[in-house]
Amino acid sequence: MAEAEPIRSGRRVLVIDDASLVRLYYRQLLEDDGFVVEEALNGLEALEALLVGPFDLLIVDVNMPRMDGLTFLRTLRRLTSAAAAIPALVTSTEAAAQDREAARAAGANFYLVKPLEPEVLTLHARLMCGVPA
């Protein structure tokens, strides 16, 4: 598969994950592909970040302290602001069908199982932000 050119679109992504190495990995891949990345350690920090500025995509881990990813998504989807409509890509090490269904029921637009290959992450980020893949 040919490597896609960076998009340099300035699309903003909020990576929500309690693991610093995962956040760093996603940040590097996404920024190398032209995205602007911000980070949150859990769902509560993510809700605070959404008050400050708009995002084009949320990448959400499931298992986090203080507020897990599914609780975050259920809370977000109940809001009346534009933030409630931001696409959410959920990532988890859990691969069972019930895990995928729970994420969708909470408001996820797509679900990927970790670890993610670089091209899988960037392809899905591009598609979910509506930019050329």
Distance CA 1, CA 73 (A): 33
* CA 31/CA 116 separation, integer angstroms: 16
Tell me how many degrees the CA angle 118-7-13 measures, rounded to the nearest 5.
65
Q: What CATH number is attached to the domain comprising 43?
A: 3.40.50.2300
- How many domains is the chain built from? 1
The answer to whether the predicted template modeling score (pTM) of the entire model surpasses 0.85 is: yes
Would you state the pLDDT for residue 86? 97
Q: Which portions of the chain are predicted below pLDDT 50?
A: 1-2
Q: In the chain, where do the E strands start and end? A: 12-16, 36-40, 57-61, 88-92, 110-113
pLDDT value for 132: 81
The answer to whether residue 1 sits within a structural domain is no
Residue 3 within any structural domain of the chain: no
Range of the domain at 21: 12-129
> How confident is the model at residue 2, as a pLDDT?
47
Q: What is the pLDDT of residue 4?
A: 53
